[in-house]
């Protein structure tokens, strides 16, 4: 029995742990939760939502897998460092935001297991032992799991931006949920940089958000068909311009890891004139 499996059994003696849900969360704009903003309360509701998410889980995860919109690779990659560094991949923000810390341990054994599961599903994958956590991972994790005491492995998107490829990744990893692993897709349900702060994009984001919510909350077969053809949805390409849809695609991984379970919107807010939402599966 693997170390992770033994630890899980010890935490839940005599029974298998309850299956973890999967999440698709908004990670905000750069280090927005840890700096002054105008208006000052722009990110408050989102921050409060993220801070409260861990309390909805059946128990503390044994490990967390985060797929971030800010890591794309032609060969799907997973972080394999024992003590991952942080990548401050945002620009022009206050100096203190480049000193933020999130010292969560990595989990090399889980990284290797993920590569095995992906390759069993005919998905080329590899471990990257040198890469750290980008802000799509460490910024929301600082709010959701501030103690940084749970092992974290970051998973890349497939740079082909194909929805089916991302969904297949999630499906290949779904059994991790039965081993106490929480899978999180970290992105933004609206991500058109030219639209933020422009009131004309309010109705545009609302239209896409309505479609997205109806699709996520439909039966799993209809959900999969809709998400695989998301670019045909109302206002889709105004919310996620061509070749810039990486912030939506973590949703496909989260949905793929819960292929037969219900999805539900659990958060929505108007931020910088646009609607941003979060979804949970399982």
Q: What are phi and psi of 281, to 5 degrees?
A: -120, 140
152 close to 114: Cβ distance less than 8 angstroms: no
* Spatial separation of the C-alpha atoms in residues 207 and 214, rounded to whole Å: 11
Read off the pLDDT of each residue in 173-194 and give the average, rounded to a whole number. Answer: 98
- Tokens encoding 95: 């100096």
**Residue 12 in this model has a pLDDT that exceeds 60:** no
pLDDT in tens, 149-170: 999 999 999 999 999 999 999 9
- Give me 4's structure tokens: 């992770």
The model's pLDDT over 138-148, given as tens digits with 9 standing for 90+, comes to 999 999 999 99
The rounded percent of the chain whose pLDDT value lies above 90 is 94
pLDDT digits (tens, 9 = 90+) for 46-101: 999 999 999 999 999 999 999 999 999 999 999 999 999 999 999 999 999 999 99
| First-to-final CA distance of the chain | 26
Query: pLDDT tens digits for 194-243?
Result: 999 999 999 999 999 999 999 999 999 999 999 999 999 999 999 999 99
pLDDT value for 17 = 78
Mean pLDDT of the chain: 95
Tell me the CATH number for domain 19-281: 3.40.830.10
Is 0.85 topped by the overall pTM?
A: yes
Q: Please check whether residue 158 is in contact with residue 252, taking contact to mean a CB–CB distance below 8 angstroms.
A: no
pLDDT confidence of 15, banded at 50, 70, 90?
A: low
CB 152, CB 141: distance < 8 Å? yes
Asked if residue 110 lies in contact with residue 181, where contact means CB atoms within 8 angstroms, the answer is yes
């Amino acid at each position: 029995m693997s170390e992770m499996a033994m630890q899980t059994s010890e935490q839940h003696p005599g029974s298998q742990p309850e299956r973890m849900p999967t999440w698709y969360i908004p990670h905000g704009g750069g280090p927005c939760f840890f700096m002054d903003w105008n208006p000052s309360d722009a990110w408050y509701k989102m921050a409060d939502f993220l801070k409260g998410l861990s309390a909805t889980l059946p128990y503390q995860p044994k490990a967390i897998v985060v797929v971030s919109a800010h890591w794309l690779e032609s060969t799907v990659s997973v972080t394999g460092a024992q003590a991952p560094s942080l990548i401050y991949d945002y620009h022009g923000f206050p100096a203190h935001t480049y000193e933020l810390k999130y010292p969560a341990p990595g989990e090399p054994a889980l990284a290797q297991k993920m590569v095995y599961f992906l390759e069993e599903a005919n998905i080329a994958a590899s471990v990257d032992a040198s890469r750290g956590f980008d802000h799509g991972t460490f910024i929301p994790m600082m709010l959701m799991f501030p103690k940084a005491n749970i092992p974290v492995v970051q998973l890349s998107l497939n740079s082909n931006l194909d929805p089916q490829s991302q969904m297949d990744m999630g499906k290949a990893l779904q059994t991790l949920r039965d081993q106490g692993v929480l899978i999180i897709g970290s992105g933004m349900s609206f991500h058109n940089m030219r639209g933020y702060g422009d009131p004309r994009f309010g109705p545009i984001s609302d239209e896409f958000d309505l479609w997205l919510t109806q699709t996520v909350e439909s039966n799993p077969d209809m959900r999969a068909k809709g998400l695989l053809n998301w670019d045909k949805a109302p206002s889709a390409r105004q919310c996620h311009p061509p070749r810039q849809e990486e912030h939506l695609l973590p949703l496909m991984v989260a949905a793929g890891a819960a292929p037969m379970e219900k999805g539900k919107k659990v958060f929505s807010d108007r931020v910088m004139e646009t609607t941003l939402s979060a979804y949970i599966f399982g």
